[in-house]
Chains A and B, each alone.
Chain A
Amino acid sequence: MDLSRLDRRVIFVLMGLAVIIPILFNITTDVEITRDTLDIYNEIEDLESGEFVMISFDFEASSYPEMYPLALATLNHLFKKNLKVIGLALFSEGTAIGYTLLSEVAGRYGKQYGADYIYLGFRPQYVSAILGMGESIIKVFPEDYLKRPVEEYSEFSGLSGYDDLPLVVSIADGSMPIHWADYANARYQQKVAVACAAVMVTAFKPYFESGQLIGPAAGIKGAAEYEKLLKQRGIAHRRLFAQSTTHVFIIVMVIVANLAAFRGRRR
């Protein structure tokens, strides 16, 4: 059989089946915890109850299936630890997503808006926003997402700059963590932990190795590891088996295609 003449749609159908079958049978799989995910987990775990943590929703709707489990796991940890969460978005598309996620998880833990968490919303020009928050968070975000003055929330009115934040967590599908490293970490020595899309890991790796960023919990595997650390098996565990079967399928296809190419060349 000449594989070079195989209709590419056959591969699409097989790929679809490799995803659908594990989902239909709802099979979950175990995952080993890596040092990277453990780093971000420990960093949050070491914080004292009641301390402020900023979480930046630096992703867009297009990467939602990958970012949702990561954001969910991180927020679960933050609220479980009774930390005061300050949410914001540095991408306009992430604004509404961030608010929805924050409210959803906060609701599960019975947290009150304004007392346990606030959502600052979006600011254009992320460089100015990151730098400005080093001087004063309230100056950059005088109003929250609901258009109320931040100073009206007594729990958050005393916020100054990064001095009051032991940790910033960036949930990112793009290069935003590099800007956090460039401007918040380099200028203000702010600790920045990262939960990111798997596609960005190699781009960020030098920053993690140098200690400029903490983490990362990356992709669906990172989310599953985080769920395991929290002892809350959820959506990431469910998706992980489908991910594994698809990877096996892709590896098989790469091998078969290469063998077919070698055979074709010999002819």
Chain B
Amino acid sequence: MTVETLVAAIFTIAIFSFLYKENPFYRAAEHILVGVSVGYYLVILVEETILSKVAKPLIYDRNLLVIIPAVLGLLMFARLSRNKGYIARIPLALLIGAGAGVSIPAMLWARVLKQMAASMLPLQTISGIIILVGVVSTLAYFYFSREQRGWFGYMAKTGTYFLMIFFGATFGYTVMSRVTLLIGRMEFLLYDFLGIIG
């Protein structure tokens, strides 16, 4: 058995021990996981952003234009100061402006127009009818400018049934995903750690 397998097994058992009750082993494993994840993320970010996107082009390629985004990035830290915090609004404004400019047309196309087109199927098919009823009734449920009574109330009620089917399907898929993670760890403990089956 390798050291990695032993360490992984100890941490898996420590995390599983929470199922019995809260204990120091579980807490230690949880904190180490958070610490290691942050450390890993930090190293990757420093290497892939600060070193490769700022330091390298500036030092080796003499690309002075890099100074502009680097300074804007540094201005973000102005938020840490009580008096000069407003300076951070400059890079923030740029980020929000550019972000909105990039996202709005793409999302309008991908999340609104394409989805609307996909919802407008010919009504000769059962799927087309179900989609029409589902979309209209669910939208009715989320329409709060009119009291949900009478025919409108029935429509909104129908919408809740579609929502419940969605929640049920999502829950089923979630169970499937989480069970897979459990199976993965059990397999690891039985095969790699205990070596019960090869």
Contacts and interface: CB of A to CB of B under 8 A. Distances in A.
B113 to A, nearest CB: 9
Chain B interface size, under 10 / 10 to 19 / 20 to 34 / 35 or more: 35 or more
B182 interface: yes
A90 B52 CA distance: 16
B179 A121 contact: no
A122 B44 CA distance: 8
A121 B185 contact: no
A201 B175 contact: no
Nearest to B117: A210
Given A65-B185, A202-B169, A206-B115, A23 B20 contact: no
Nearest to B186: A19
Nearest to B190: A23
B142 interface: no
B41 A220 contact: no
Interface stretch (B78-86, B100-108, B143-151, B152-160): B100-108
Interface residues of A, number: 53
Interface in A170-210: 181-183, 185-187, 197-203, 206, 209-210
B170 interface: yes
Interface in B144-197: 166, 169-170, 173-187, 190, 196-197
Contacts of B37: 93
A210 B118 contact: yes
Interface in A3-28: 9, 12, 15-16, 19-20, 23-24, 26
Nearest to A13: B19
Which of A143, A182, A185, A219 has the most CB atoms of chain B within a 10 A radius of its CB?
Answer: A182
A123 B41 contact: no
Interface of B: 19-20, 37, 40-41, 44-45, 48-49, 52, 99, 102-103, 106-107, 109-111, 114-115, 117-118, 166, 169-170, 173-187, 190, 196-197
